Amino acid sequence: MSNPLLDNSTLPPFSSIKAEHVVAAISELIAESSKAVKDILASVDEPDWDNFVQPLDEVGNKLRKAWSPVGHMNAVVNSLELRKAYETCLPLLSEYYTEMGQNKELYDAYLKISEGADFKNLSETKRKIISNELRDFKLSGIALPAEKQKRYGELQKSLSELSSSYSNNVLDATMSWTRLVDSLDDLSGIPENALQAAAEAAKAKDLEGWLFTLEFPSYYPVMTHCSNRELRLEMYTAHVTRASAGGPDASKFDNSEKMEDILKLRHELAQLLGFNNFAEHSLATKMAPSTNAVLKFLNDLAERSLPQANSEIDVMKEFAASELGIEELNAWDTAFVAEKLRQHKYAISQEELRPYFAADRAVQGMFEIVNRLYGITFEQVEEFDSWHSDVRFYKILRDGQHIASFYLDLFARANKRGGAWMDECRCRMKNSDGELQLPVAYLVCNFTAPVGDDPALLTHTEIVTLFHEFGHGLHHTLTEVDELGVSGIGGVAWDAVELPSQIMENWCWEKEGLDLVAEHYKTGEQLPQAMIDKLLAAKNFNSAISMLRQLEMALFDFRMHCEYGTEAYKGIQGTLDEVRSKVSVIKAPKFNQFQNAFSHIFAGGYSAGYYSYKWAEVLSADAFSKFEEQGIFNRETGLEFLSSLLGRGGSADAAELFEKFRGRAPEVDALLRHSGINNA
Q: Which residues are catalytic?
A: 469
Number of Cβ atoms within 10 Å of the Cβ of 407: 25
Q: By three-state DSSP, how is residue 332 classified?
A: coil
Q: Could you give the C-alpha distances from 17 to 13, 168, 391, 440, 444, in angstroms and in order?
A: 7, 21, 16, 18, 19
Question: Residue 176, exposed/middle/buried by CB under 10 A (0-12, 13-18, 19+)?
Answer: middle
Q: What backbone phi and psi angles, to 5 degrees, belong to 429?
A: -160, 145
Listing DSSP states for 248-311 in one string gives TTTTTT--HHHHHHHHHHHHHHHHHTT-SSHHHHHHTTSSS--HHHHHHHHHHHHHHHHHHHHH
Q: How far apart are CA 514 and CA 460, in angstroms?
A: 10
Say which residues have a Cβ less than 8 Å from residue 500's Cβ, sequence separation at least 6. 471, 472, 474, 475, 620, 645, 646
The length of the chain in residues reads 680
Closest of 645, 651, 649, 624 to residue 477, by C-alpha:
649
The gap between the terminal CA atoms of the chain, to the nearest Å, is 65
Say which residues have a Cβ less than 8 Å from residue 162's Cβ, sequence separation at least 6. 258, 261, 262, 265
The answer to whether 69 and 425 are in contact (CB under 8 A) is yes
The answer to whether 338 and 350 are in contact (CB under 8 A) is no
Closest of 494, 225, 467 to residue 368, by C-alpha:
467
Listing DSSP states for 122-163 in one string gives S-HHHHHHHHHHHHHHHHTTTTS-HHHHHHHHHHHHHHHHHH
Tell me 436's DSSP state: E
The answer to whether 180 and 210 are in contact (CB under 8 A) is yes
Q: How far apart are CA 522 and CA 357, in angstroms?
A: 11
Closest of 101, 469, 506 to residue 273, by C-alpha:
101
Cα 551 to chain centroid, rounded: 17
Closest of 549, 546, 544, 574 to residue 559, by C-alpha:
574
Q: Say what the alpha-carbon torsion angle 204, 206, 209, 212 is, to the nearest 10 degrees.
A: -50
Q: For residues 205-232, b (16+ Cβ closer than 10 Å) or e, as one string?
A: eeeebbbbbbbbbbbbbbbbbbebeebb
Cα 363 to chain centroid, rounded: 19
Say which residues have a Cβ less than 8 Å from residue 661's Cβ, sequence separation at least 6. 623, 626, 640, 641, 644, 645
Q: Could you give the C-alpha distances from 396 to 50, 401, 504, 516, 566, in angstroms and in order?
A: 30, 8, 17, 19, 51
Q: How far apart are CA 443 and CA 393, in angstroms?
A: 10
